[in-house]
Amino acid sequence: MRPDDERIDALLRQLDHAPPAVTSEMVVARARAGGGWGRRAALIMAALGLAGAAYAFPGSPLPEWARTAARRIKPGPIVSLPAPAPTQVPLAPLAGIAVAPGRSLVILFTHYQAQGQVRVSLTDSARVLVQAPGGAATFTSEADRLVIDNPGTSAGFEIRIPRAAARVEIRVRGARILLKQGPRVTVTNLRPVGSSGEQCQPTEDPMSSARISSALGVAVALSLAGCDSTSPLEGSEDAAFKQELDLALCAPSQSGFSSSSTNPYFPIQVGKVWSYEGEEDGELEELTITVLDDTEIVAGVTTRVVEEREKIDGKLVEVSRNYFAQAADGTVCYFGEAVDIYQNNQVISHEGAWRADQPGNGPGIIMPASPTPGLKFQMEDAPGIALDEGLVVGTGSVTVPAGTFTQTIRVREFNPLDGDKGYKWYAAGVGLIIDGPVKLIEYH
């Protein structure tokens, strides 16, 4: 006998036992005693009992039939059912913008965000890509600037910068947090200083300031939680008036004027550019001052043209061309300005324009040769149009987004025509670093 037959016989012998004593009377009695389901169950039990008795009856053909059927049944292959596919969680839709960086691009976040994060990476793409979850921000692209309006307290942004981009800056309000210049990327962290934390101290991250390698995927995570750098930095109490300079220092009849300035607090060299930003009444203000390669003859004096361009929330509001010359003693004289006031990209006014060679006017003093606290000077001399007065009221160390400057003077300006008063800070070797709400971001 084959091994399979022996195994089957062994299994069947376990079933070869004496049939239970079941009589027809027992089955009928059980069926009558139960209900509907009880009757059915009793009949099934009776049928199973009769089948077992027939199988065990001597000479019954059922065991042989069972052996034959078992030999004919072959085990089939084991089928593995595929595991259910993982549930796909839909990702939040992304919004964003892609722009060409050009020669220089500033990416400006308009708000600090306490839990805001931005991930910056370098790619081989030709465009700057900025992405964020839909609804987290709105994007506005201009010629050399990308504005990200990011209200709220938290959001995650991704910025991809082309490796080939010459210069890309990322700022939060007026504070720079990243600068890519050629192959070098510098990250600047802002930490609050002072008892109330209203001033920002920029510090470079030494690990992030190293040259970025050429491998793809190099990234750095930055925070959008800055400190408020827009509070006025007026320092101590204003110094009292001690002395007033004579406007004769800038009289056009004098000789020795220069269209360049070596005055450390008011340097004027062709090509110098200062950039400022700040916020006032919820609006972002930007100011760019450029020393042009242009001159203007005013009252017989060759002056240097210095252009100022002012924007509010990205819209041009004023362009002025100021005329300066340095006197022989180092005093910087102000010979007037041409003014264009803009609305919707159209010039609507020239309010505030004046020249020192117009009747009744004369040049003013924009910066004394040796400014010390208590020194007063007439900045403009155009009766009925511009008569601003300056008073040096303080010195000290000042921190702005462009850095910390230890040798500075603070000048209080007063307009007797409307009673307006404001403050400006100047740093030796740099020039203007604070003008009211705007503060120096960079200069070169």
- Taking each helix axis as running N to C, give the angle between helix 36-56 and helix 62-72, from 0 to 180 degrees, rounded to the nearest 10: 90
Higher-confidence residue of 109 and 256: namely 256
Whether pLDDT at 252 is above 60: yes
User: What SS3 state is found at 3?
Assistant: helix
Query: Per DSSP, which regions of 211-282 are E strands?
Result: 219-223, 243-244, 273-280
User: Residues near 231 by Cβ (< 8 Å), separated by ≥ 6?
Assistant: 198, 199
Higher-confidence residue of 212 and 248: namely 248
Higher-confidence residue of 375 and 41: namely 375
Residue listed under structure tokens 């990308």:
146
- What is residue 209's predicted lDDT score, i.e. its pLDDT? 35
- What is residue 336's predicted lDDT score, i.e. its pLDDT? 98
Q: Up-side HSE of residue 72: CA atoms within 13 Å toward CB?
A: 6
Strands 375-378 and 243-244: parallel
- What is residue 424's predicted lDDT score, i.e. its pLDDT? 96
**Which has the minimum average pLDDT: 135-149, 226-240, 283-297, 332-346?**
226-240
- What is residue 44's predicted lDDT score, i.e. its pLDDT? 65
- What is residue 76's predicted lDDT score, i.e. its pLDDT? 54
Whether pLDDT at 102 is above 80: yes
**Which has the minimum average pLDDT: 62-71, 72-81, 100-109, 397-406?**
72-81
Whether pLDDT at 140 is above 80: yes
Alpha-carbon gap, residue 404 to 200, rounded angstroms:
10
Residue 184: band (very low, low, confident or very high) from pLDDT cuts 50, 70, 90: confident
In the chain, where are the structural domains located?
3-64, 94-223, 243-443
pLDDT tens column, 5-27: 666 566 556 555 554 555 555 55
Higher-confidence residue of 406 and 64: namely 406
Alpha-carbon gap, residue 99 to 174, rounded angstroms:
22
- What is residue 167's predicted lDDT score, i.e. its pLDDT? 86
Tokens representing 435 are: 């003008």
Identity of residue 323? Y
Whether pLDDT at 390 is above 80: yes
Whether pLDDT at 193 is above 70: no
Higher-confidence residue of 4 and 89: namely 4
pLDDT tens column, 62-79: 667 666 665 665 555 555
Top mean-pLDDT range of 27-31, 167-171, 321-325, 438-442: 321-325
Higher-confidence residue of 34 and 167: namely 167
Alpha-carbon gap, residue 138 to 153, rounded angstroms:
15
Whether pLDDT at 54 is above 70: no
Q: Phi and psi (nearest 5°) for 222?
A: -120, 155
- Average per-residue pLDDT for the chain: 79
State whether the Cα torsion 220-95-114-425 is positive or negative.
positive
Whether residue 363 contacts residue 335, with contact meaning beta carbons closer than 8 Å, is answered with yes
Identity of residue 439? K
Q: Which of 339, 289, 291, 346 is nearest to 318 (CA)?
A: 339
**Which has the minimum average pLDDT: 313-322, 325-334, 412-421?**
412-421
* Mean pLDDT within 344-366: 96
Strands 346-349 and 117-123: unpaired
Q: What percent of the chain has pLDDT over 70?
A: 67
- What is residue 265's predicted lDDT score, i.e. its pLDDT? 97
Alpha-carbon gap, residue 170 to 120, rounded angstroms:
10
The 10 Å Cβ neighbour count of residue 37 is: 8
User: Residues near 347 by Cβ (< 8 Å), separated by ≥ 6?
Assistant: 340, 341
What separation, in Å, do the N-terminal and C-terminal C-alpha atoms of the chain show? 104
Residue 381: band (very low, low, confident or very high) from pLDDT cuts 50, 70, 90: very high
